[in-house]
Each structure stands twice: as C-alpha cells, then as structure tokens.
Structure 1
Amino acid sequence: MKPLSKKARLGIVAVASTLVLAACGGEDDGDSDDTPSGGESSSSAEGGESSAPPAEATGMQLYFVDGNTANYTEDFDPGTLEGVKATYPGAELGDDFRQRLLGVDKKLKDFTYGPESYDATIVAALAAIAAGDDSGTAVGSKMADVTGGGEKCTEFKACADLLGAGTDIDYDGVSGPIDLNSTGSPSAATIGIFEYGADNNYAPVNFVTGQIPDASEVKPDQEIASVKPGDGKFVVGMLLPSSGDLAFLGPPEFAGVELAVKEINENGGVNGSQATSIRADSGDGTPNIAPSETDKLLSGGADVVIGAASSSVSLSVIDKITQAGVAQISPANTSTAFDSYADSGLYFRTAPSDVLQGQVMASTLIEDGKQNIAILARQDSYGEALAENVRSFYEEAGGSVVSYQLYSPEAANYNAEVQAIAAEDPDAIILISFDETKKIVPALIQAGLGQGE
C-alpha cells in the first residue's frame, strides 16, 4: 500500500466541530478521504468544502489502536485482518531512521514507539546540557525548555551546539512535534492511520497532526521543588517490556533508546562525559515486576528512566522514580491520568494523551460511514481512558455506541463480551487491546464478527 504524501493538520476544538458536521451530513470543514489504494488526501480545520458524503458501511469493520497495532503475519491465516484499520501516535517513519534502528537491532519487525523512545532519550540529554547538570531534577527542570520556544533543530549535535552557544532551542524529533506543556505532555502530536493487508501486516494511509490544550492549572505537587546536583555521569535507565503482553513493543523501544545513546556519544556526549544505559524489564503488570526492576535502575544511578510502555505499569512505579529525584519519560503512555498526577514535576512523555487518538479514531469512524459501533477494551488505565475518549467524541459527532464492553486482561476467555457485542449487531468494533488480540480476534470470527463478515 502506497502511503499518502500529505499530512492533515487539525486543531483539537476544530476536530470536534468537524465531527459534528460530518455526522449531521452537513458541509465538512475540510476534505478528508481515506484512500487505501494510494491516492492523496488531507484533512483540514481551516476551511474548504467536501462534496463527498461519508463512505457507505460495508460489512463488519474492525479497528485497532496503538496497543495492538502489530505485525500479525505469523499469527493468523492470510487475509484474516485484511481491511482492518488502526490508529497509533507517531509521524511517518522515514527510511533513514528505520535503517538506523535496524543498525541497532537487525531483527526488528515492528517500529512502534521506537521514534518516541529515541526522542525521549535525546530530549533528556539536551535538557541535561541546557541545565549544565545531569541530575534527574536538573533534567526535569529543562525538559519543556528544550522542546519549544527557541531555535528549531532536529538533530542532537546541532541542538547541543546551539545550547553550547547560549541559544535557546526547540527540538522537533523523528516522532513529530513534541513541545512539552506545563505538565510534561506533548502539546502537539501526530496520529497515523493504517490499514492491514492480506499478509496481516499494516501500512500507512494518512497522518493527522493536532494540538492538545495545556492543563488549566498546575498544582504545587506537579512542580520541581528544588534542583539538586548530579554526579557528572548521565545514566539512562530503560524500563521497557521484555516480557508480557507488550513484549512486542520492547525491541523497537530498546533500539530507539540505544540508538540515541550511541549517537549522543558519537557527538560529544553530555556535558563532556559519555552517556551510559541500563536495561530493565517492565513486564505488563501481571505479575508486577516493574517495582523491583525499577530498583535496579535507581541503584545503578539512573538520572532518567525511559518507560514504562504501559500506563498502568508506569502508575505502579511513578512515585518510586520521582520521589527518588529521577526524571521519568515514557515513550508510550497515553492515559489521561498523568495530566493531573502529583509527579513533583518529574514525569514526562513523548506520546500524546488519549484525547488526540480518541478524536482521530472517532473522525475515522465517521468518515467510514460507521453509525453503530461497539467498543471492546481492556479494563485498565490505558483501555478505559482511550475507550472513553473514543466514545465521547464519536457520540458528540452523532454516532451511537451500541455496546461498550470492558474485559479483564487476565480472563480465561472473552466469550461473554463477544456475545454481548454480537447481540447488538454493530457495523464496527473498536478493539482496545494488547497481545490478547491474538485470542480475541478468533473469538470474534467464531461469533460471526470477523473483519468483513
């Protein structure tokens, strides 16, 4: 599938307005058109009219999100997922960066959150240079400063040279615009829209960049109380999944961090010293191995912890990390819980909150002509937050959620939830899941709810 050449740009408020217009059948403020065959399309919130109505719904349509957008070539019979659509954060991945990641790990099959992991590491190193110190509190104090408000730069060396010359910088990374807001989350981000082929692997259809409003209030427990000195050695701790349902995300995330450390050291290091890294396994929370693995990183002198991938896992260790005066930067946490968390000003992320992905998913559903959908989601901080955002924006646009099912990730099977959905006969199902997708999809097919049925 040939990726589209244009990127759509839309503001957060404008997205909601566009959705309402599309749902009412009125004039669409822009001309968005998903065209898997490879034609160009773009979405805009700044004017223009669309003469094309939403696409007619044809058969059952499955939709995935970032937690389960993966290469299933070896998991399902050919054609099982053909036509499934998916969304996940991140700009279009260039061939150059893909090859650089493969240079670190030639076995990579997926690249999901590799760019965000790379950017998290680069931003932390630049923050340490801007602060002139490598401590976690010093890094945290400069994270927002190096991602907005200064001279734009896109590579570590160029950015470090500008800082060395006393110039404020605005680092834009390989994952897209970052521009960290007052609570440590991106204020602008890109969401990719993908479609699965007959080989059960996914390819890009479009990319949508949107703005995310800043928090209206920053509480005292979300600010750094004081900056303490470091030891002159910039140490990056990796708390990323080597085991569990999110283990497929581990290789590209580890590769992203290791590539960044390699390139940092090839270009002068951090404040005159070489950066080092330590690995730890975050798991997926069942069992919860992250706290003990975090202890390994803290005892190893980590100044910044990259991870975890799972929002629930990060919530289980965020206090341990931030109360130790160490900065935590996740490449993949999307739960809205972090926007108001009492993190002492030391938690950050390079992935956007679920607000933006929820809007893009809702917009995609409306454009695809889906009028009665079901949502099947993990019952955890990630699944519930994203499910609520999809439902909110989709219903605001005039759509109907006929079945809303939350499931336990530890369940032996998902038959009850699948049968509840089948009873409502939706024209689309949004599956917000992790690796259990491999069990849920066969259950959906058995119930006559497979893709295109």
Structure 2
Amino acid sequence: MHMSRGARTAITVACATVLLATSACGNDQPEESSTQQVRLYGTDGNMSNSYADELGDRANLVDGMKGTTPLTPLPEDFRKRLLSVDPDLDGFLYAAEAYDAVVISALAAEIAGTTAPAAIAKQIVGVTNNGTQCGTVTQCLRLIRDGKDIEYRSVSITRAGFTDAGEPATASYATLHFDGQQLNDAKTEFVGAGDESAASSKRPPRAGAPASDAPLVLGGLLPKTGDLAIAYPPLAAGTALAIKEINAAGGVLGEDVVWIDGDDGTNPAVAKATVARHVADGVHVIIGAGGSGISAAVLEDVVKAGRVLFSPSNTAASLTEADDKGLYFRTAPPDGLQGRALADVILRDGPHKIAIVARKDSYGTGLQDVVRAELERAGFGGDKVRLLDYEPGEGADAPPIDFTAGAKEIKEFGADAVLIIGFAESAAVVRALADADVPLAALGR
C-alpha cells in the first residue's frame, strides 16, 4: 500500500502527540496488562525474508516483527527485469540502489570521456542534477553522445539528485511487516524523507576530448559471504541487470563495460584483500561495500589507490563526512533520514519503554544514536529508553553471539518494544530474548 506523504505526516503527528501520554491513538489512559507483550522491530539487514531462516525451527519468532528500510516502490517492469537475471530472487532490498550505482558510474565515465577514476568521480554528482531528465540507460547515453547535460532519474533516484557529498538528497522508506515467517507485501507502506533543496547545484567540470582507455572496469565488493550475505542476491541482481542494459545500449566509450566479481565477506580483512585484487586488476570503480563499517575500513585503501568506491547500501551518517578525497559515493540514504522513519513506526504502537539493541559498528551504533535522539524529541527520556549493543565478531570462525545478559537486562527493564539493529547475526538476539522468557508479541518456541 502506498500512503501519500501528506496523509502519513498528518497521522504521524497526531499519533506522536497522543502517544506521549497514552498507549494508542484515541485512548485516554495507558492500558496495562498482567503480561505485557513485547513488540520486535528491525531495520535493513534483518528485514528480509531470509532473516527468518537464520532462526531455523524457531522462525515463527519473527511473526509480527516490523521495521524500515530504504526502499522505493519498484515498478513491475523493473521487478521483471531483475527476475530475468535471477529467477530465484525472493526480495528486492537495495536492488534498485545497486542498479543505479552501476548506471551512474557508467554515465559519469561516458561524460568524462575517460575511464580515469578521478575524472569519473568529478562527474557523478552532476549526472543526477541540472540537466535534461532521462530515465533509461539508452535515453541517457543518447543525450550524452549528443552533447547534452543530463539529470538521471530512475528506480531509486526519483525526487532529487545527489548532494555535494555524493549521496541522495531525498529518500523513500518502506515499513515492512512479518506475517508468520514471511514479509507481507500487501502491508508495506512507503514514506518520503529528505529535502530536495539539498541537491547539489554545482556544475561539474567540462570533460576533455575522449580518451582511448576503455573498457570501463567495475569491481564488486558485495557481501557474498558473512553476516550480510542475506542481502547479496538483490544487490547482485541489480548490478548484473545494469551491466546487461548498459552493454545492450552500446557500452561506455564504445566498448562493453567489464565486471569483475568480488566479496566483502562482511569482514574488513576479506574486503581489504578484495580491494587489493581489484586495484591490481585495473578496476576503475568499486561497487560496495555492503556494510557501512566495511566501507569505512577499506576507504583509506581505495583512496590511496585512486579508485572510486560507490556503495548501494551504506547508510551510516558518519560516512557523509569521511575523508574520501571526493572518491566515495552512495545511492543509499544516510541514517539521519531513516532514524526519523523508524522512530515513527515504533511510536505509532504506543510503547512505554523501549530497548534499542545495536550491532557494535559504525552502522549499528550510529543508527541507534539517531533513533534515540528522535525518541527523546518525542518525550522519551533516559528512564524510558535502554541502549545495548553486541560484538558481531569477524569471520566464519567467530564464536556465536551470546546475548544472554542483554536479554535479562531487557526483561528487568520492562521494555515493551525492542528494536534490533543488525544483520543476519542479530537472530541470536531474538533467540536470547525468547530463552529469557521475554514475552514476545508472537510467542514461537
């Protein structure tokens, strides 16, 4: 279901005002019960159909869980095109952002007239602003070859282009709902966020004469393995579809774009090794990493090698100010925007005490801080919000996450809402809550 921004905002404001004093919109008094059930909330890496698989025979523990993720209402035609490259795809999280990261990189190289990474980087923001709008690879490449400035609009870049920092000025978020062990698409709601006036108005430098250094080589730095591997299939499908359509439209600078696969492992060591291989293989633009913490870990290596790092799924707000020498970009919006949407989802259910459990890295603790600040603005002081975190571990040999103490603390705190910010590994938090007899809203055992 698509709800207009105006209608959604009006409902949210009305509810948030009432929720400061009541348990639900329209009630005069909070309702108390002898057994207060605890609602589960998630975001990004744990709001996908494959998340339930991480719980094995306790997959029904996610029944009733809901949360947010950056997601645009995807046209049916785009979904069909994604399924043409991966017929087994069962989710579309970040597929549009992956597609757009590849396409924008290719368009920037065509405008630059060279595959030199520094020259490509100078054109990326301009590809999305201050030109003739175009919505397909073929249209955009034709305009560029005719000497026109373009303004790329597509599946994830819709209302406005990039900011000067190289990230979306506006975003669309989806509220997702688990019914049983699967997300119920019929319940999905979309809301817009951000400010169109934040889009860059700067003109990129004029490109010189086309150079003969094609082909453009793109390298993957996506989570084929590790805690974020549950997000890999749609990321891979988005990149594969973009490469297919770019090359069908004549490629870049007269030659087909080359893709070299690579894994970030949701692990800094794995990602650094992949970056080193890409540099040795002559990759110009690296698409990834999957997680914000992984991009933060490899960014220095990428910048030192003079390559472009372009992520479809990084959301940590700290990356906006990273020392990237103008070589880092993302199609996923920063968490400053998502935190507001996520706090709204929680507040609409009228909680009294909220526990926020975060993966201990730049993504997890960064988003945790944003949500906490939004809740404080809604009147939830320190006695109503409890912050906890966990060490995700690195590599396949990392010991399982033990959240036993954290689950006990949440139970003693009396939380009636628990937000879990993490990837596949955060299923251990759900199990620990159930083992501690925290009365989850859906009591699967």
TM-score by length of 2: 0.86
Counterpart among 257, 280, 284 of residue 299 in structure 1: 280
Single out whichever of 100-109 and 266-275 deviates more from structure 2.
Answer: 100-109
Query: Match for residue 397 of structure 2?
Result: none
**Equivalence for 1:405:** 388
Residue 153 of structure 1 pairs with residue 134 of structure 2: yes
Amino acid at match of 1:291: K
Indicate which of 421, 426, 429 corresponds to 1:432: 421
1: CA distance, partners of 2:216 / 2:28 = 52
1:31 corresponds to = none
Q: Identity across aligned pairs (percent)?
A: 34
Equivalent residue number for residue 63 of structure 1: 41
Q: Distance in 1 between matches of 2:139 and 2:163?
A: 23
Query: C-alpha displacement at 1:334, in angstroms?
Result: 0.5
Query: Structure 1, residues 196-246: CA drift from partner, whole Å, max 9, x if none?
Result: 0113334352111111588899xxxxx99x999772211111101111111
Which residue does the alignment assign to 2:188?
A: 205
* Structure 2 counterparts to residues 215-294 of structure 1, below 5 A: 231-285=213-267, 288-294=269-275
Residue pair 2:303, 2:325 contacting (<8 A) in 1 also: yes
Tell me which of 82, 90, 105 is aligned to 1:101: 82
- Which of 320, 325, 333 lines up with 2:306 in the alignment? 325
Contact 1:55/1:369 (8 A) holds in 2 = no
Task: Give the counterpart letter for 1:209 in structure 2.
Answer: G
Equivalent residues, number: 417
**2:349 maps to what in 1?**
368
Q: Deviations over 1:147-204 (max 9, x none)?
A: 1222222111111112222222211221243611111111111111110011333435
Contact 2:372 2:385 in 1 (8 A): no
Return 131-140 or 302-311, whichever deviates more. 131-140
Q: Cα 1:216–1:148, aligned 2, differ >3 Å: closer, same or farther?
A: closer
1:420 aligns with 2:409: yes
Correspondence 1:162-201 to 2 at 5 A: 162-177=143-158, 179-201=161-183
Deviation per CA, 1:346-377: give whole Å up to 9, x if none.
10000000011100011112222223211001
The answer on 1:349 being equivalent to 2:330 is yes
User: In structure 1, the residue corresponding to 2:47 is in which secondary structure?
Assistant: coil
1:18 Cα offset (Å) = 8.9
Aligned to 2:396: none
- After TM superposition, the structure 1 = structure 2 runs for residues 102-141 of structure 1, keeping only pairs within 5 Å, are 102-141=83-122
Q: Is the 8 A contact 2:312 2:332 kept in 1?
A: yes
Change (3 A) 1:144 1:53: farther
Indicate how the Cα distance of structure 1 residues 53 and 153 shifts in structure 2: closer, same or farther if over 3 A, else same.
farther
TM-score of the aligned structures, taking structure 1 as reference length = 0.84
Q: Within 2, Cα distance between the matches of 1:7 and 1:124?
A: 32
Unaligned runs of 5+ in 1: 28-33, 35-50, 218-222
1:451 is matched with which residue?
Answer: 441
* Cα distance in structure 1, aligned partners of 2:319 and 2:199: 14
Indicate conservation of the 8 Å contact 2:52/2:60, yes or no.
no
Q: Give the gaps of 5 or more residues in structure 2.
A: 394-399
8 Å CA contact 1:100, 1:259 repeated in 2: yes
- Superposition deviation, residue 337 in structure 1: 1.4
Q: Residue 54 of structure 1 contacts residue 367 of structure 1 at CA under 8 Å; is this kept in 2?
A: no
CA contact (8 A) 2:161 2:199 kept: no
Partner Cα separation in structure 2 for residue 242 and residue 331 of structure 1: 14
User: Quick check: 1:238–1:279 contact (8 Å CA) kept in 2?
Assistant: yes
Deviation sequence 1:91-134 (CA, Å, 0-9, x none): 02233222222221222232211111111000111111122222
| Structure 2 SS opposite 1:80 | helix
3, 8, 13: which one aligns with 1:6: 3
